[in-house]
Structure 1
């Protein structure tokens, strides 16, 4: 946190003033000037530094708070929010890729592997024939020993006959699919749900803790390949992505 008043920053371009404040705060966090739990400058200090109104500074901090970068405490101030693990959505990436990309250790625990048949509801939703043969895997993924994802997946058994024979400690189902089901496309949805008892136990969270739930269907050459439901503890994970310009 600055210890003395900095010179006012004048508006010299088309970027809105509130966005310049947001960019400044984000840059300070990314550079490590302000770390997790640090108190950042007050609205009045930002008003003086950027030569803007109190309403403009308030908007910038409000939007950063809404995005989860800041935490505002009544009567105390505004602080850098606890860091949550980020995972990309736009690309079809492996959870292990994301973890290794952060320089951390990925491990997993296989909860179950089984052969199932498509229900009427699955057949209708996924474009399968009724009672089509599927392979199902339920796997918990860990980052540095902390459970961060429960992956419940079914795949087309006819297309991937060796799916249940894989060593999931060496690759993830998503990494396997990149080879077994090339040219992937698909669709996904995200919602917030309370975990079932089994999910809460696998992720080591209380059943009262909301989870982010990513449901994704993957197609290969236009045909069904995989459907996965992935649970992420809300307190230690966020999902993020970048839209190409």
Structure 2
């Protein structure tokens, strides 16, 4: 039997504490020093565990304050969740889509955590490139919970976007997302027809329906072609 790496053991310990309710949202988790002492590992190993859980949206890190359990279902959003096909059409553009991948895969730890499923269980993955006037606008990589969208792999996503389909079968109740600037890798550059490196806008989004977490998506757009806007209404 293969021994699980120490950083993975730390991650499982943290996840177990959160799932059991022992650690609540916004609660500070043990520091790198405390975890390295508890599991008898280097600080680098403890840092890797915390960093991977932060990247998956399970934890949040605040400079100078520490690491905390993320707010999974109560974070308000500054971004309106819209269908990209509708956005393109509203601008008077012609929307098309290229499906690069549509498959069932074994969920590695970060994906399993993000979807609330077991590690190595089967989840659905799609990779699409959304186009406006025949020019690539956005790469969408999405992981979907099969229990909430069992027919996902049978859909023709050149005719309906994953977002459109999912809100039909599992109406959206909550969402959480983060936005950051990244430098794209070779695959993203190729898919977006980027002939020179430029910063891209990456949006990581998880969505919930009444049945649980529906999907975990990564949306990447060239910084020169896409922007975010929003409208806020404040209660008196």
Please indicate the TM-score interval, normalised by the length of the shorter structure. 0.5 to 0.7
Q: Name the counterpart of 1:215.
A: 204
**From 111, 124, 139, the counterpart of 1:135:** 124
**From 154, 173, 182, the counterpart of 1:184:** 173
Q: Please report the TM-score for the alignment, with normalisation by the length of structure 2.
A: 0.63
Contact 1:197 / 1:207 at 8 angstroms: preserved in 2? no
Is 2:195 the partner of 1:203? no
Is 2:199 the partner of 1:235? no
- CA separation in 2, counterparts of 1:129 and 1:219? 17
- CA separation in 2, counterparts of 1:173 and 1:125? 18
Q: Name the counterpart of 2:7.
A: none
The 5 A counterparts of 1:158-173 are 158-173=147-162
Aligned CA distance change for structure 1 residues 229 and 212 (closer, same or farther; 3 Å): same
- CA separation in 2, counterparts of 1:166 and 1:91? 25
How big is the shift at 1:158?
2.0
- CA separation in 1, counterparts of 2:159 and 2:113? 34
Q: Name the counterpart of 1:102.
A: 91
Contact 1:141 / 1:150 at 8 angstroms: preserved in 2? yes
- Secondary structure of the equivalent of 1:198? helix
Aligned CA distance change for structure 1 residues 243 and 227 (closer, same or farther; 3 Å): same
Pick the structure with greater CA Rg: 1
Q: Name the counterpart of 1:225.
A: 214
Q: Name the counterpart of 2:27.
A: none
Deviates more, 1:193-202 or 1:113-122: 113-122
- CA separation in 2, counterparts of 1:190 and 1:222? 26
RMSD of the alignment, in Å? 1.7
How big is the shift at 1:131?
2.0
- CA separation in 2, counterparts of 1:125 and 1:113? 19
- Secondary structure of the equivalent of 1:237? coil
Q: Name the counterpart of 2:233.
A: 244
Q: Please report the TM-score for the alignment, with normalisation by the length of structure 1.
A: 0.61
Unpaired segments ≥5 residues, structure 1? 1-87
Q: Name the counterpart of 1:148.
A: 137
**From 84, 90, 110, the counterpart of 1:121:** 110
